[in-house]
Chains A and B, each alone.
Chain A
Amino acid sequence: MNDRLKALYKTQILAHAKNPFNEGVLEDYTHKLQAYNPVCGDQFDLYLKFEGDVIQNTSFRGYGCAISKASTSVLIKQLLGKSKSEAKVLVELFLKLINPESSESPESLTSDEEFLAFASAREFPERLTCANLAWEKLKEVL
């Protein structure tokens, strides 16, 4: 098996894909977003519960490849307790991290292992839309 691809799927991604964070429907959500990729059919519903400016609770439900599912799971986890402006910073950081055209090295951007796992996506431009699916969608409410 190829090491390059294995690196992309390494522990963090497989762990999140197999045991996603807060998978399910959030009944008392304030925002529901649908992240959908018509090219491959990946589809996730994102549920957010804002209290004032702060994201108090999150969940998601849907299906997609391991990368899109794990990246959605990480997003849902990282958003918990964040304010709108904190969430915005987080999303920009993640998108920069996976962007193959980014000039900054992944390690200079973050030391968060959950985030760094996705940095290998830079080598697989065809999988960029898997890694950023939910994150790009979230930008709409921030």
Chain B
Amino acid sequence: MQSLKSEFPIFETARKEGRPLIFLDNASTTQKPQCVINAVTGFYAGYYANVGRGLYWPATAASFNYDQAREKVRAFIGASSKKEVIFTSGTTDAVNKVVNSFLLPQLEKGDEVLVSEMEHHSNFVPWQQACQSKGAKLKVIPLDAGLNLDLSKFAAMLTDKVKILAITAISNTLGVKNDLKSIINLAHQHNIKVFVDAAQLPLSEKINVQNMDCDFLAFSGHKVFGPTGIGILYGKQALLEKMSPLAYGGGMVQQVSIDKTMMADLPAKHEAGTPNIAGTIGLAAAIDFINSVGVEEIGRHGAELRKYAVKRLSEIEGLTLFAKDAKSTAILSFTMEGIHPHDIAAFLAEKGIAVRAGHHCTYPLMQKLDIAGTVRVSFNIYNSEEEVDLLKNTLVEIRSFFL
């Protein structure tokens, strides 16, 4: 894995007072390999034009690559058709679109929407606001003592009032992975549609939407080595066809007259306006990169580093690890007695160690844990056990400075 680090130019160029960057904030965003940077600049420098209707080169080349990107995403998530892949600006955008186009038109007073206590604000606030606007009820699936989803309480919440279940694949704060297959299966037994927030999933395990049987799924490009501002929404074809367009504008119509408009077929119907073409091309390059390394390889490396970090950080007195037994993810949260997470992060930053401190956009979870925040480390292919050792040693120094 260490040989792969050289593919990421930031580690060659970025220095904090001579110290290399130790990037442990991968749940927030990932660094970019040269191939992704090349793909984006290559498009702008080599064949830039709008997609869709241009009859000239380079418009045809841009359109071809844009279309190829969709095909690569399709294969990456195991969807049966390219029509089921809608480009968005990211996971948040995808959630909002499903809320507006799928949920709101059918949501009525007294209906229910299910989310979990571990959701990121992005997969919480849009559903909450939709419910409030219609007098519907947002119900929150609690976590058990081990900070896993309480499946027996979840089962009891499944009624015919529930219009959709929105659930994360992996908690961005705790690194807990949900058993989506059984969760979705249970929900479907009650005819409840399921939206999966897969923001943290693509580098953990191979996604197969058909096997998972989710109705919707979304992730962001920037968390999988791709550019910011690009993401995808997967939806089952029948649902996407039934839904009104996620937005209206150019590029999503067949015919327009003064009186009416005939919408285009999938996926164009849901993609109004000039898309983020460079973003899709960068995302396609990122998927090629992931495939060349292997999702399983990436997932295993991250999970092994988490396990190693659990072992090393457990040696520090006064340090509390959350969900320390969580399996097969690369995210780990902790607190240190008497030292605020932001103070810890500031001191780590001085050593060139980038971590995230705070609530991680999961206020409901912080309330459940009754804490103001955590320090979160999250690993990727360019991280190593040596970096975990440095993290540990620096934490010990911080503790002795503060106490």
Contacts and interface: CB of A to CB of B under 8 A. Distances in A.
Interface of A: 1-2, 4-6, 9, 14, 39-42, 63-67, 69, 124, 127, 130
Given A40-B358, A41-B358, A2 B373 contact: no
B265 interface: no
Interface string B337-372: 001111100110011000001110001001000001
B342 A65 contact: yes
A103 to B, nearest CB: 26
Place the interface of chain B in its size category: 20 to 34
A65 B366 contact: no
B402 interface: yes
Interface in B16-64: none
Contact of A40 (B347, B373, B402): B373
Interface string B369-403: 00011000000000000000000000001100110
B342 A5 contact: no
12 contacts: A2-B347, A2-B351, A5-B347, A5-B350, A9-B343, A40-B342, A40-B357, A42-B342, A64-B372, A65-B343, A65-B346, A67-B343
B interface majority secondary structure: helix
A41 B373 contact: yes
A4 B311 CA distance: 31
B8 to A, nearest CB: 24
Contacts of A130: 342
Nearest to B357: A40
B343 A66 contact: yes
Nearest to A2: B350
A64 B340 CA distance: 7
Interface centre among B346, B358, B402 (most CB of A within 10 A): B346
Contacts, number: 49
B15 to A, nearest CB: 15
Interface of B: 339-343, 346-347, 350-351, 357-359, 363, 366, 372-373, 397-398, 401-402
A98 to B, nearest CB: 15
Contacts of A9: 343, 401
Contacts of B358: 39-41
Contacts of B342: 40, 42, 64-65, 130
A1 B340 contact: no
B347 A41 contact: no
B359 A127 contact: no
B372 A63 contact: yes
Contacts of A6: 401
A130 B347 CA distance: 15
Given A1-B397, A2-B351, A5-B350, A41 B359 contact: yes
Nearest to B341: A65
Contacts of B363: 41
A64 B347 CA distance: 16
